[in-house]
Amino acid sequence: MPIAFDRVYLKNAAYFMPGDPVDNEHMDAFIAPLNRMSRRIKQRILSENGIQQRYYAIDTEGNPTISNAGMAAEAIRACLQKAGLGLGSVGMLASGSSGGDALMPGFANMIQGELAAPPLETVSVHGICAAGVGAIQAVAQGIELGGHQAGLAVASEMPSRMFRQSRFTARDYDADFDSHFLRWMLSDGAGAVLLGNADTPGRTANGLRLRLKWVHQKSFSGDYPVCMQLGLTEDRARSHLDYPSWKDAEADGALALRQDIRLLPHLFDIGIHEYVQLVRDKWVDPTRIRHFLCHYSSEKFIPVVEDLMGKAGLAIPKEYWFSNLAWRGNTGAASIMVMLAEFLETRTLTPGEQILCYVPESGRFTTAYMLLEVEADTTDTPVTTVRGLRQTVSEQTLDAQGIAPPHDPEHAPEGLSSLLTELAAIWHDYRSRVWRTPLVHTLRERRFQTNDYISWMESWIPQVREGTRWMREATASLSDTYGPLAALITLHAGEEQDDFKILFDDYKKAGGTADSVDDLRRNPGGEALNAYLHAMAANPDPIGLLGAIYIIEGTGQRIVPALLPLLKTSLSLPPDAFRFLEYHGHNDEHHLARWLTAVSIALECDDSGKAERAIVNTARRTAALYLMQFQHVKENDNNATNS
């Protein structure tokens, strides 16, 4: 039985096709016939499938021009741009694909990393053509159940890497038609759809919206043999993992993508039987269908589908059919999303029209259907007034378990549990955003260069120097009430007063050219943070600065040690070019223990009850400004986002 939805809408759809279109005449530059038999197979397949052009994410030398996750990310960016939303507006990401760039982890997680997306729920649907529908269904269920207001489903395929001539040189494939067949059928591309509830921004043109009425998927893998597979030998008897090495598996053909075309008629037979069942159970009324988006791998199958529908007396007129197979190619799981996106770009819709989508999957036979209905959009919520839909972590109540620096609220000294819980929530959000800045994203992706490290230190050194200065100013602004606290802060400032000199020495060893710290200037984020901290320090009894110290010292304790191994791996620099980072990684834990003592003293001395709120507010503002410092180090790098 289909899964019905009452409050899920398709808000936008987009696609990404890599490179320039490749017509049939120029295919050989990318996917060349191997011999005369291979050439005959190519001619036969192209004459039947109707594909006139397709796209490849490899160049003519067989080198990838973009990753599979990269294509998915581009489709998502295009989808969100159409809707006028950022990544922070979605709470869930589901992917569908026959395989990502890595065997592990899940493809959705790799896409999230590629986007440097905020924390969200992920689901990776692994399959073949119907996997895209599975991703849509997963997001739709999350929205229907109220878990999310908006989510993204994306599907991306990159089979071209498997079809390069070099992959076929390990053995003689002359007698293996099944492994040749798909070389002329499949191509690369990605599609994404944005789903949301009625209040989610983003809508189709002309004041319309598309409601997802239901999704129906059913697998018949228990009834039929494997039809399309990767990882088994030609006789399906042995897995590629059963070989001593992947080299042996490759040589024996266990890593060749194959399809047994003799089984394909059964796929459409079961698909149409499911369609008849949907009509009989009144999920589909053929007379109301005005658009039929049918995914088929070859135009040869159009009359097959038409004939089976006709025999059932439930035919959908051919003028209602839509397919872009001829000019977009067969992109597997991505095909239905690419088709939906182009359909919405090129068709005029009318309220009341229904759109039926059909996706047969030949892996081991799965059939999938979706029904959407066009509605007049009566909502009056403008996109420009809608705040990010997903609540930030700093606004949520977090469990105490596993909370970051400096201490678990469940084991906090008496009276500090509430304060530490709030600070931990601020830290959790700040840490996540730092890891998604262009600076750190570049480092994570192994694209970090020595000049990036130098630029970072040029912005950071003056900021570190100012740390002891504003702490001493704050100490001078404390009244006699906070005498014990003033002594502790003075001790801490004294210990750190020369830290900037260590960092400047690292800067010089890495290749920095400034002769003096005075020649360096903080970037705009660092300037804003410095101005804020000095202004706070000049106020009477600036207890809130303990919140600033929490963020700054926490960065040294938890973020810096995690970045240090990545820096050492990425940069060919002597070990003594990282002395400051090494020092803080080892010592900031002791600094945070001292901070906890300082907070206890401050709260004991506070008769007004305002100190706790001041610490929380200052921590939140310091986190925002420190984040700006990170962002501005590589402000022109658009590969990461903090939406």
- Asked whether the beta carbons of 633 and 452 are under 8 A apart, the reply is yes
Which distant-in-sequence residues (6+ apart) come within 8 Å of 273 by Cβ?
none
Q: Report d(CA 78, CA 221) in Å as an integer.
A: 35
Which distant-in-sequence residues (6+ apart) come within 8 Å of 187 by Cβ?
22, 51, 54, 55, 56, 159, 160, 329, 330, 331
Classify domain 395-633 at the CATH superfamily level. Answer: Heme oxygenase-like (1.20.910.10)
Residue 228 pairs with which residues in a beta bridge? 259
- Asked whether the beta carbons of 474 and 467 are under 8 A apart, the reply is no
Residue 592's pLDDT band (cuts 50, 70, 90): low
Q: Which two tokens stand for residue 435?
A: 């890891």
Q: Which two tokens stand for residue 66?
A: 């973009």
**Cis bond upstream, residue 265 (ω within 30):** no
**413-450 tens-digit pLDDT:** 666 778 888 898 899 889 889 988 999 988 888 889 99
Task: Give me the mean pLDDT over the 287-316 stretch.
Answer: 87
Per-position DSSP letters for 592-612, written without gaps between them: HHHHHHHHHHHHHH-SSS-HH
DSSP at 376? E
**Beta strands 92-97 and 121-126: pairing type?**
parallel
Whether residue 599 is predicted with pLDDT greater than 60 in this model: the reply is yes
Q: 210 by DSSP, 3-state: which?
A: strand
Identify the pLDDT of residue 411. 56
**Beta strands 150-157 and 92-97: pairing type?**
parallel
Rounded to two decimals, the pTM is: 0.83
Q: Considering the chain, tell me which residue range(s) the CATH 1.20.910.10 domain(s) occupy.
A: 395-633
- The phi and psi torsions of 231 (rounded to 5 degrees) equal 115, -5
Identify the pLDDT of residue 37. 77
Residue 103 pairs with which residues in a beta bridge? none
Residue 125 pairs with which residues in a beta bridge? 96
Give the number of other CB atoms < 10 A from CB of residue 505: 15
**217-234 tens-digit pLDDT:** 999 999 889 999 999 998
Which residue did the predictor score with more confidence, 382 or 66?
66
Residue 204 pairs with which residues in a beta bridge? 208
Q: Report d(CA 630, CA 635) in Å as an integer.
A: 9
Q: Considering the chain, tell me which residue range(s) the CATH 3.40.47.10 domain(s) occupy.
A: 3-376
**Beta strands 53-54 and 228-229: pairing type?**
unpaired
Angle at 120 between CA 116 and CA 125, to 5 degrees: 95
Average model confidence (pLDDT) across the chain: 86
Owner of token pair 């001493």: 472
Least reliable range by pLDDT among 137-146, 333-342, 343-352, 606-615? 606-615
Whether residue 133 is predicted with pLDDT greater than 80 in this model: the reply is yes
Burial (CB count <10 Å: 0-12, 13-18, 19+), residue 230: middle
Closest to 96 (Cα-Cα) out of 115, 66, 75, 120 = 75
DSSP at 286? G
Overall size of the chain counted in residues: 643
HEC readout, 294-359: ECCCCHHHHHHHHHHHHHCCCCCCHHHEECCHHHHCECHHHHHHHHHHHHHHHCCCCCCCEEEEEE
Classify domain 3-376 at the CATH superfamily level. Answer: Thiolase/Chalcone synthase (3.40.47.10)
Which distant-in-sequence residues (6+ apart) come within 8 Å of 53 by Cβ?
21, 22, 23, 24, 326, 327, 329
Which residue did the predictor score with more confidence, 272 or 510?
510
Give the number of other CB atoms < 10 A from CB of residue 428: 19
